[in-house]
Amino acid sequence: MPSSVEPNDPLERLAARIADDEPVDWQQARGRAAHAAALAGLRELERVVHGFRHAQLAHGEAPRAGRFRFGQLVAIEPLGEGSQGTVWRAYDPLLDLEVALKLRKIESGALAHAFLEEARRLARVRQANIVSVYGAAVHDGQAGLWTELVRGTSLAELLARHGPFPAEEVRGIGLDLAHALAAVHRHGLRHGDVKPENVMREVSGRIVLMDFGAARELDAANAPVVSGSLPYLAPEVLRGAAPTAASDLYALGVLLFRLLTGTWPYPADDLAGLLRAQDEGRRLRLTAIRRDVPRPLARAIEAALALDPARRPASALAFAALLAPPAPRFGGWRVVALAAGLAALVAAGVGLGVRREPAWQTELAFYRAEAHGSSALADGAAIRLGDRLSLALRSSRPVWVYIFDDDGSGDAAVLFPLAGLEPNNPLAADRAYRLPGASTSGALTWQVSRAAAREQFIVIAADRAQPALERAVAVWQHAAEAPATRGALALAPAPPAAELSSPALRAALDEVQRSDGAHVRRFTFTFPHAAE
Amino acid sequence: MSADAHTVIEPTVDLIRRIRAGDAHAREQLLRRFLPLLRRWAHGRLPRRLRDLNDTDDLVQVTLMKALARLDEFDSAGPGAFLGYLRTALLNQVRDEIRRHQRRPEHAELDAELGEADAPGLLEQLVGSERVRAYEQALARLPKRQQGLIVMRVEFGMSYPEIAAEVGGTPDAARVMVARALVQLSRWLATD
- Give a three-class secondary structure readout of A50-72: HHHHHHHHCCCCCCCCCCCEECC
In chain A, which residue's Cα lies nearest the Cα of B176? A7
A45 touches chain B (CB under 8 A): yes
Least confident of A127-131, A191-195, A365-369, A470-474: A470-474
Which pLDDT score, from 0 to 100, does residue B150 have? 92
| Same-domain pairing of A304 and A420 | no
Nearest chain A Cα distance for residue B86, angstroms = 16
Q: Is the pLDDT confidence value at B129 over 50? A: yes
Chain A residues touching B159 at Cβ < 8 A: 66, 76-78
Test B183 with A9 for CB contact under 8 angstroms: yes
Residue A17 lies in a domain: yes
- Any chain B CB within 8 A of the CB of A19? yes
A141 pLDDT higher than 60: yes
Average pLDDT for A273-281 = 89
| Per-residue CA distances from A441 to A339, A420, A422, A436, A437 (Å) | 11, 12, 11, 13, 11
pLDDT value at A333 more than 70: no
Q: Is residue A94 situated within a structural domain?
A: yes
Residue A490 and residue A481: Cα distance in Å, rounded?
Answer: 10
* Omega prior to A423 cis, within 30 of 0: yes
Q: List the one residue out of A172, A185, A165, A147 whose CA is nearest residue A1.
A: A147
The Cα A304–Cα A311 span in angstroms is: 8
**Residue A457 located in a structural domain:** yes
Confidence check: pLDDT of B62 > 90: no
Residues of A in contact with B183 (CB under 8 A): 9, 11-12, 15, 38, 42
Which residue in B183, B185, B188 has the most chain A C-beta atoms within 10 A of its own C-beta, making it the best mutation to test that interface?
A: B183
pLDDT over 90 (residue A261): yes
Among A15-24, B46-55, B146-155, whose mean pLDDT is lowest? B46-55
Q: How high is the pLDDT of residue A166?
A: 92
Task: Tell me, yes or no, whether A357 and A293 share the same domain.
Answer: no
State residue A353's pLDDT score. 38
Q: Indicate the residue of B126, B160, B183 with minimum beta-carbon distance to A11.
A: B183
Q: pLDDT of A224-242, one tens digit each?
A: 444 447 889 899 988 888 8
Do A120 and A174 have their domain in common? no
**One domain for residues A173 and A281:** yes
Please tell me the distance from the alpha carbon of residue A352 to that of residue A377, in angstroms, as a whole number. Answer: 8
Instruction: Tell me whether residue A407 is one of the annotated catalytic residues.
Output: no
Residues A17 and A83 in one domain: no
Banded pLDDT at B33 (limits 50, 70, 90): confident
* A8, A13, A45: best to mutate for the B interface, most B CBs within 10 A: A45
Residue with the larger pLDDT of the pair A219 and A411:
A411
Inter-chain residue contact A52 with B188, CB threshold 8 Å:
no
The residue from A100, A116, A148 where one domain ends is: A148
Q: Check residues A292 and A443 and name the one with the higher pLDDT.
A: A292
Residue A45 to residue B182, Cβ atoms within 8 A: yes
Q: Cβ contact (<8 Å) for B189 and A45?
A: yes
pLDDT of residue A255: 97
| Domain-terminating residue out of A148, A177, A198 | A148
Please name the member of B33, B122, B172 whose beta carbon is closest to the beta carbon of A55: B122
Provide mean pLDDT across the span B148-172: 87
Q: Residue A516 is part of which domain span?
A: 333-528
Task: Report pLDDT for B97.
Answer: 73
Mean pLDDT of A187-195: 85
The answer to the question of residue A208 being in a domain is yes
Rounded distance, CA A390 to CA A445, Å? 5
What band does A71 get if pLDDT is binned at 50, 70 and 90? confident
B130: contact with A, CB 8 A cutoff: no
Distance of CA A307 to the CA centre of its chain: 22
A95 lies in a domain? yes
Same domain for A373 and A497, yes or no, is: yes
Better pLDDT: A487 or B181: B181
Q: Considering only the beta carbons, identify the residue of B122, B176, B187 that sits closest to A5.
A: B176
* DSSP element (H, E) containing A393: strand A388-395
The mean-pLDDT minimum among A7-11, A194-198, B182-186 falls in: A7-11
Question: pLDDT tens for residues A334-364?
Answer: 555 443 333 333 333 333 334 444 578 888 8
Q: What is the pLDDT of residue A82?
A: 56
DSSP A223: P
Active-site annotation holder among A176, A193, A407, A411: A193
Q: What is the pLDDT of residue B180?
A: 95
Rounded (5°) CA angle B82-B87-B90: 125
Residue in B70, B37, B72, B43 with CA at minimum distance from that of residue B56: B43
What is the Cα–Cα distance from B29 to A441, expressed in whole angstroms?
59
Q: Search chain A and give the residue with CA nearest B154.
A: A49
Same-domain status, A49 and A179: no
- Give the one of A16, A47, A66 whose C-beta lies nearest to B6's C-beta: A66
* pLDDT over 90 at B177, yes or no: yes
Residues A511 and A383 in one domain: yes
Nearest beta carbon to residue B36 from set A38, A53, A65:
A65
- Does residue A2 fall inside a structural domain? no
Q: Where are the domains of chain B?
A: 5-191
Interface test with A, best of B39, B55, B139, B154 (most A CBs within 10 A): B154
Interface of B with A in 15-44 (CB under 8 A): 32-33, 36-37, 39-41, 43-44
Q: Confirm whether A16 is domain-assigned.
A: yes
pLDDT classification of B115: cutoffs 50, 70, 90: very low
State percent of chain A over pLDDT 90.
Answer: 18
What confidence tier does B79 reach under pLDDT thresholds 50, 70, 90? low
Task: List pLDDT tens digits, range A107-130.
Answer: 667 777 777 777 777 888 888 899
Q: Is residue A244 a part of any domain in this protein? A: yes
Same domain, A392 and A276: no
Do both A186 and A256 map to the same domain? Answer: yes
Does A267 lie in the same domain as A173? yes
CATH of the domain at A85: 3.30.200.20
Q: Which of A59-68, A303-312, A359-368, B46-55 has the lowest mean pLDDT?
A: A59-68
Cβ neighbours of A81 in B, within 8 Å: 1, 4
> Nearest Cβ partner of B187 from A16, A38, A59?
A38
Provide the domain count of chain A. 4
State the average pLDDT over residues B5-34: 76
Interface confidence (ipTM) of the complex: 0.80
Fold of B5-191: Rna Polymerase Sigma Factor; Chain: A (1.10.1740)
Q: Is B191's Cβ below 8 Å from some Cβ in A?
A: yes
The answer on A315 and A256 residing in a single domain is yes
Average pLDDT in the A136-161 region?
86
